[in-house]
Amino acid sequence: MVVSCEEVWREISNYLEGEVDASLRTAMEDHLRGCKHCTAVLDGTRNVVQLYGDERMFEVPLGFSHRLHRRLEENMPGNRRSFLGWMVAAAAAVLVAGSFEVARSSVFSRPELRSEHAQPGARVPPDMLVIVSGDGKTFHAAGCPFIHDKAHIRTIQAREALRQGYAPCVRCMKKYLTA
Ligand SMILES: [Zn+2]
Ligand SMILES: [Zn+2]
C-alpha cells in the first residue's frame, strides 16, 4: 500500500493513538521514513497532543464542560476526529513556514495576544534593523518617538529582538502587525 502526504495527515491522529490497522500503519511508516515534511507534521502533532493533553485540548478551545463534551462526542463520533484534523492542518500549515515554536506562538496563543502591547511580531522582516532600549520590552523602527531611555539604545536585527523577547512597538511597527 502506498499513501500520499494528504492521507498521512488525515490519519496522523489515529496513527498516534494506535487506531490505524496494521497495513496502513506500515504504509504510513514507509512514507514517513522518506518524507521530511510528514515527519515534521507527525512531530508537531505529537507535541500538540502532549502539550495540551487530550481532554484540555478539546475542552478549552471549544469551551464545553467536560460532561457536555462527552455527550457531544457520543452523539457525534466524527466530531473529535475533525477537530484533531483541524489541529493537524494548522500544525502542518505553520510547520511549512517555520518551526513548531512559531506554531505555538502564532496559532495556539493568538487569542491571548490580541492586546495592544503583545502582538506577535512574525510579520516584521527578520533582517530589518530595529532599536531596543535597555529597560524596554519593545523594539522600534529608527526615529520612533516612543523609544524610552534613549541613552541606552542599541540596534539589532528584528529576528534577534524577537528571540530576546522584545515585542514590536504597536506604533512604529503597526504596518507589520495588522493581519
Ligand atoms: Zn509526506
Ligand atoms: Zn516605536
Ligand 1 mean position to 123 CA, how many Å?
A: 28
Give the range with max mean pLDDT: 8-17, 72-81, 102-111. 8-17
Q: Which ligand is nearest to the CA of 174?
A: 2
What are the chain's domains? 5-108 (no CATH), 117-177 (3.40.10)
Strand order in the sheet with 167-168: 153-157, 129-133, 138-140, 167-168
Ligand 2 mean position to 100 CA, how many Å?
A: 28
Give the residue among 61, 59, 60 at the shortest CA–CA distance from 70. Answer: 59
Ligand 2 mean position to 152 CA, how many Å?
A: 15
Q: Which ligand is nearest to the CA of 39?
A: 1
Residue 92 class from Cβ within 10 Å (0-12 exposed, 13-18 middle, 19+ buried)? buried
Between CA 139 and CA 24 the distance in angstroms is: 49
Ligand 1 mean position to 32 CA, how many Å?
A: 6
Residue 131 class from Cβ within 10 Å (0-12 exposed, 13-18 middle, 19+ buried)? buried
Neighbouring-strand partners of residue 153: 133
Q: Which ligand is nearest to the CA of 33?
A: 1
Residue 111 class from Cβ within 10 Å (0-12 exposed, 13-18 middle, 19+ buried)? exposed
Q: Which ligand is nearest to the CA of 30?
A: 1
Ligand 1 mean position to 36 CA, how many Å?
A: 7
Q: What distance, in Å, lies between the first and last C-alpha atoms of the chain?
A: 42
Q: Which ligand is nearest to the CA of 153?
A: 2
pLDDT in tens, 125-172: 888 999 998 778 889 988 888 887 778 889 999 999 988 888 888 888
For 53: left if phi > 0, alpha if psi spans -120 to 50, otherwise beta; the answer is: left
Looking up cell 514517513 gives 32
pLDDT in tens, 114-124: 444 444 555 78
pLDDT in tens, 40-73: 888 887 776 665 555 444 433 444 345 444 554 5
Q: Which ligand is nearest to the CA of 172?
A: 2
